[in-house]
Amino acid sequence: MHHNLQSITLRDQLKRDYPWTTAPLIVGAPMRVMSGPEMALAISGAGGIGFIGPGLKPESTAEDLETARSIIFSSSSSSSSSSGIRTLERDVLPIGIGFQLWNGSLETSAAAVGKYRPAAAWLFAPRDGLQAEVNTWTVRLREVSPETKIWLQVGTLQEALDAVQSSREGGKPDVLVVQGAEAGGHGRATDGVGVITLIPEIADALFGNEKGKNGMIPLFAAGGIMDGRGAAAALGLGAAGAVMGTRFLAATEARISKGYQDEVLRASDGGKNTLRTQLYNHLRGTLGWPEQWSPRTVVNQSWVEQQAGVGFEELKKRHDRAVSEDGGSKAWGPEGRTATYAGAGVGLVKSVEDAGAIVEGVRGEAVGIIQGLQELAKL
């Protein structure tokens, strides 16, 4: 009985929607600034779906999409086209783009999506956590680019129900990314749980008894997936594919400082050494995140000293000094002071590899595990 395994049920649909991909689907998350066009294209080029993250300013999105397009054009004229590049025939870029709604600009984003037509737009974190804002973005982006699939990242059953059942006409997402508590970067501040329960509960609530009532929306698992074991587990839970963020921080193409990347390789024991706090947003001057979300980061001196009672003003001074001195080489690491957003699975990330090799390695390992488990079922 495979009826609850989306990776099998939706295989043909996903192949139609993302024709350059290979099952099982591995997705690179849109990490703010760190997931740039080079990484997104490398992930898609290996048969996954690479997302560009939100940039420092709303205008950065169009610049990144322009870069992606020119890389595709230059490689398709100089070498025989890879499968990803062939989708240009439909004028759709074989990558996705991520948006954070609460501080994003819908009109700037819509202009970029309309011009470049990425295959997918990933929405996250509406103002005040409200589905109404998600609806507005979804409807507008579909107006400017009907081919662009709308992905929405949620972290609770309620958010999933709101997205599917309370979305206004034309506002239902094409994909729900179900983000578990282990996830790096921003996620549910206080009411997150792991994907091992969240995916099946959302699947049952949406598609359970009354099959077809909500159609079958692909669920993609995010949070804590670092290798083929996690990806195979996600598929076993019923997800259509697996999303990784933290693992791609250790890709050669990631737009990340060396000190940050070194810390991702070094850190382990994520339950003990990562946590969710707004402290690092505030130290970096990012204010205004809706209270529903806070970022998971690797612990360093700023947190340790805050716990010991050092006041924010002093922490900020020490933070700014660490970031500006010695080219920022002291910003990260256990003695460092700045944000090191990464997931609870950070201890499983051991080396820097090309993003394409990561996709192929994780996919191959997942397939091997699934084949291996078939032996168990024969007994």
Ligand X SMILES: Cc1cc2nc3c(=O)[nH]c(=O)nc-3n(C[C@H](O)[C@H](O)[C@H](O)COP(=O)(O)O)c2cc1C
> What are the E-state strand segments in the chain?
25-28, 49-52, 93-100, 118-124, 149-154, 175-179, 185-188, 219-222, 241-244, 274-276, 293-298
Q: Which is nearer to ligand X, 51 or 85 (CB)?
A: 51
Binding site for ligand X (CB under 6 A): 29-32, 34, 53-54, 98, 100, 122, 124, 153, 179, 182-186, 222-225, 243-246, 341-343, 345
| Rounded-to-integer distance, Cα 270 and Cα 344, Å | 4
∠ Cα 362 365 370 (to 5°): 125
CB of 230 to ligand X, least distance (A): 8
Q: Which is nearer to ligand X, 116 or 220 (CB)?
A: 220
DSSP string, 302-362: HHHHHHTT--HHHHHHHHHHHHHGGGGTTSSSTT--S--B--TTGGG----B-HHHHHHHH
Q: Which is nearer to ligand X, 245 or 356 (CB)?
A: 245
Q: Which is nearer to ligand X, 85 or 150 (CB)?
A: 150
CB of 2 to ligand X, least distance (A): 26
Contacts 24+ apart (CB under 8 A), 55-62: 58/104, 58/105, 58/108, 58/109, 59/108, 61/97, 61/99, 61/108, 61/109, 61/112, 62/108, 62/111, 62/112, 62/115, 62/116
Q: Which is nearer to ligand X, 36 or 224 (CB)?
A: 224
Residue closest to ligand X, measured at CB? 245
CB of 341 to ligand X, least distance (A): 4
344 φ/ψ angles, rounded to the nearest 5 degrees: -65, -15
Of the candidates 341, 242, 349, 244, the residue with the CA atom closest to the CA atom of residue 294: 341
| Rounded-to-integer distance, Cα 256 and Cα 347, Å | 18
CB of 209 to ligand X, least distance (A): 29
CB of 126 to ligand X, least distance (A): 11
Radius of gyration of the chain (CA): 20
Q: Which is nearer to ligand X, 31 or 85 (CB)?
A: 31
Q: Which is nearer to ligand X, 30 or 129 (CB)?
A: 30
CB of 72 to ligand X, least distance (A): 23
Provide the sign of the torsion angle of the four alpha carbons 241, 246, 248, 253, taken in this order.
positive
CB of 185 to ligand X, least distance (A): 2
Query: Token pair of 350, please?
Result: 């051991």
CB of 299 to ligand X, least distance (A): 15
CA 78 to chain centroid: 31
| Rounded-to-integer distance, Cα 28 and Cα 53, Å | 10
| Rounded-to-integer distance, Cα 165 and Cα 237, Å | 22
In DSSP terms, 124 is beta-bridged to 100
Q: Which is nearer to ligand X, 172 or 186 (CB)?
A: 186
Q: Edge to edge, what strands does the sheet with 185-188 contain? A: 185-188, 293-298, 274-276
Residue 370 and residue 235 in contact, taking contact as beta carbons nearer than 8 Å: yes
CB of 211 to ligand X, least distance (A): 28
CB of 259 to ligand X, least distance (A): 14
Residue 120 and residue 145 in contact, taking contact as beta carbons nearer than 8 Å: no
